[in-house]
Amino acid sequence: MSVTDQILQLSTKEKLKIMEAIWVDLSGDEDAYESPEWHGRELEETRQRLEQGEEEILDWEEGKDRLRTETQ
């Protein structure tokens, strides 16, 4: 049985625990991963849109609500 098949059989609670463990492992050493160049370009473009009033800052909950509404 593949790892993917095993994951699909887990409960949501178990999947979240695994995701958290993976995140802790990956985020433990920032120097182990270099962000792709396009990340920097996207951040710069977002900063410019924000300065020009073309971008809106949302708090986390409002952002999630908007995404849920837009995808329905």
The structural domains of the chain, with segments of one domain joined by +, span 3-70
In the three-class reduction of DSSP (H, G, I as helix; E, B as strand; rest coil), residue 18 is classed as helix
Chain segment 26-71, per-residue pLDDT in tens: 888 878 888 899 999 999 999 999 999 999 999 999 999 999 998 8
Distance CA 24, CA 16 (A): 12
pLDDT given at position 31: 82
pLDDT given at position 29: 82
In the three-class reduction of DSSP (H, G, I as helix; E, B as strand; rest coil), residue 64 is classed as helix
DSSP character at residue 71:
T
**Amino acid type, 45:** E
Q: Name residue, tokens 């995140």.
A: 23
